[in-house]
């Protein structure tokens, strides 16, 4: 019985030893596993945040592209309306020119009548009193016909109007620059999203997860389209009520925004600027687009204070 | 009087140049960004600069700062024509010593008014 117990004890001891050997081999693996899980956790959080962040940008992209389409459509319609107007005015000009062309015989008639009268006078067929009466009639008639066929004021008006229309087209065409900036902004954002996701995926197998997590993508406001387009992400906003904004900027120039300038001066820590501005209440809110008249007012204030 | 029109958008350059020509200004040089503008400034005797803000390589703001820091060009009038209409932008432009500022889209009339205002102020 005792022999059996000792044998059993030895067998159990052997099993226990094997277990310790296994434990010794497994511990480094478990340590690696714990380290891996510890490293992967921030990565997973980063992926989660990145997806959330990128998804939150998508509606904004859609909105921006929608604004581009809207702006392009508005500008195109505006240009087409102006062109319709130009065609109408050209039709009027053409019809006036045609009238002039048809009435060219007015001059011919005048010359014919005048020369006939002169010939009759030369050959003494008419007396001087009658001659004067006749010549007055011929001139009066010519003057009346001439005034009928030419309305130069209409020509002048039409030309001036077409000039104004061309200016309006020029204004509408600026939408090309504004919308290209907006598209560049969208393109840039898509590139950024793509780059970040690519980086995340490429780093997924890397041991150096921690370094990746803290990496942030640098934002440069230049996007590569058919050419490099530098952009203002809110460019298309300038199309809405631009004239009002310009007026506000002009007003700002006149009134001065010294308080904001002073504040900005402190924030930017730029020396030798802004001290000449008086302290006044700023009529403009921070980070809000302002109009041309406000800008003018600001520059005017700056000039006066120099 | 020689004008330098700086904008990375060829369309905008053309629009500004067309407007200038309609005012009777024919002597015009164009540049596609701030760097190009500096080259053009070196090659020509420029009397007036009209510049965009957002441009690759060198922005209109940096161009303005470079011009104002140059002994040779510091007195050249600069008119900024841009889509940037935030107050902070305007202040930055003022700090860089831009002479005046127009928000796109603009009418040729506004452009003319600003050019005339700058020229008149410079004459005083």
Return the HEC string of A148-170: HHCCHHHHHHHHHHHHHHHHHHH
Residue A32: inside a domain: no
Q: In 10 A of CB A33, how many CB atoms?
A: 11
Distance in angstroms between the alpha carbons of the first and the last residue of chain A: 113
Q: Which CATH number covers residue B39?
A: 3.40.50.2300
pLDDT tens readout for residues B10-55: 989 999 999 999 899 999 999 999 999 999 999 999 999 999 999 9
Residue B103: inside a domain: yes
Percent of chain B with pLDDT over 70: 100
Phi-psi region of B67 (alpha: psi -120 to 50; beta: other; left: phi over 0): alpha
Q: Tell me which residues of chain B have a C-beta less than 8 Å from any C-beta of chain A.
A: 7-9, 11-12, 15, 18-19, 22, 33, 53-56, 59, 82-88, 90-91, 94-95, 98-110, 121
Give chain A positions within 8 Å (CB) of B107. Answer: 167, 171
Residue A15: inside a domain: no
Backbone φ and ψ of B48, nearest 5°: -155, 135
Residue A40: inside a domain: no
Given this model, what pLDDT does residue B60 score?
A: 96
Q: How many domains does chain B have?
A: 1
Q: How many domains does chain A have?
A: 1
The whole domain housing B100 covers: 3-115
Residue A180: inside a domain: no
Pick B121's closest partner by Cβ from A176, A289, A303.
A303
Using CA atoms, how far residue A88 sits from A62, A78, A85, A91, A148, in Å, is 39, 16, 5, 5, 22
Residue B9: inside a domain: yes
The whole domain housing A265 covers: 242-305
Scanning the structure block, which residue is given the tokens 């195109």? A76
* A262 near B CB under 8 A: no
Residue B120: inside a domain: no
Q: Mind giving me the DSSP string for A291-303?
A: -HHHHHHHHHHHH
**Does A295 contact B55 at a Cβ distance shorter than 8 Å?**
no
ipTM: 0.74
Residue A294: inside a domain: yes
Residue A260: inside a domain: yes
| CA B78 – CA B41 distance, rounded (Å) | 13
Pick A286's closest partner by Cβ from B87, B95, B101.
B87
Report the relative pairing of strands A228-230 and A222-224 from DSSP bridges.
antiparallel
pLDDT tens readout for residues A75-134: 888 999 999 999 999 998 888 888 777 777 777 888 888 888 888 878 877 788 888 888
Mean per-residue pLDDT pooled into runs of 10, chain A (306 residues): 76 88 85 81 78 75 82 88 92 84 77 85 80 86 74 80 89 88 85 77 58 45 73 72 66 52 48 37 54 73 68
Residue B87: inside a domain: yes
């Amino acid at each position: 019985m005792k022999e059996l117990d000792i044998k059993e004890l030895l067998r159990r001891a052997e099993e226990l030893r094997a277990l310790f050997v296994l434990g010794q081999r497994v511990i480094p693996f478990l340590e690696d596993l714990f380290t891996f899980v510890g490293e992967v956790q921030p990565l997973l959080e980063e992926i989660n945040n990145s997806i959330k962040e990128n998804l939150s940008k998508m509606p904004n992209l859609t909105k921006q592209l929608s604004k581009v389409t809207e702006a392009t459509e508005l500008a195109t319609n505006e240009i087409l309306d102006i062109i319709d107007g130009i065609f109408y005015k050209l039709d009027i000009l053409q019809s006036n020119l045609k009238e002039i062309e048809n009435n060219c015989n007015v001059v011919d008639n005048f010359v014919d009548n005048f020369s006939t009268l002169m010939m009759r006078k030369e050959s003494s067929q008419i007396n001087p009193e009658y001659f004067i009466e006749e010549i007055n009639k011929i001139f009066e008639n010519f003057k009346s016909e001439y005034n009928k066929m030419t309305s130069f004021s209409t020509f002048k008006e039409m030309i001036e109007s077409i000039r104004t229309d061309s200016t309006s087209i020029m204004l509408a065409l600026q939408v090309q620059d504004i919308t290209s900036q907006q598209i560049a902004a969208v393109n840039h954002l898509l590139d950024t999203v793509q780059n970040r996701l690519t980086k995340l995926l490429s780093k997924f197998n890397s041991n150096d997860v921690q370094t990746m997590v803290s990496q942030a993508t640098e934002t440069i406001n230049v996007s590569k389209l058919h050419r490099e387009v530098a952009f203002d992400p809110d460019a298309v906003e300038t199309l809405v009520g631009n004239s009002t904004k310009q007026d506000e900027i002009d007003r700002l120039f006149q009134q001065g925004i010294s308080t904001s300038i002073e504040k900005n001066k402190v924030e930017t820590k730029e020396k030798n600027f802004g001290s000449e501005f008086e302290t006044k209440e700023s009529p403009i809110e921070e980070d809000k687009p302002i109009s041309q008249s406000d800008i003018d007012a600001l520059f005017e204030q700056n000039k006066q204070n120099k | 009087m020689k004008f330098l029109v700086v904008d990375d958008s060829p369309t905008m350059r053309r629009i500004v140049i067309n407007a200038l020509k309609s005012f009777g200004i024919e002597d015009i040089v164009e540049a596609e960004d701030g760097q190009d503008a500096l080259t053009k400034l070196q090659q020509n005797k420029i009397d007036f600069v009209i510049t965009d803000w957002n441009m690759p390589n060198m922005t209109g703001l940096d161009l303005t700062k470079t011009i104002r820091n140059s002994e040779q060009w510091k007195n050249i009038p600069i008119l900024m024509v841009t889509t940037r209409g935030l107050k902070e932008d305007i202040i930055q432009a003022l700090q860089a010593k831009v002479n005046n500022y127009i928000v796109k889209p603009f009418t040729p009339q506004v452009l003319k008014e600003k050019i005339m205002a700058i020229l008149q102020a410079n004459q005083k």
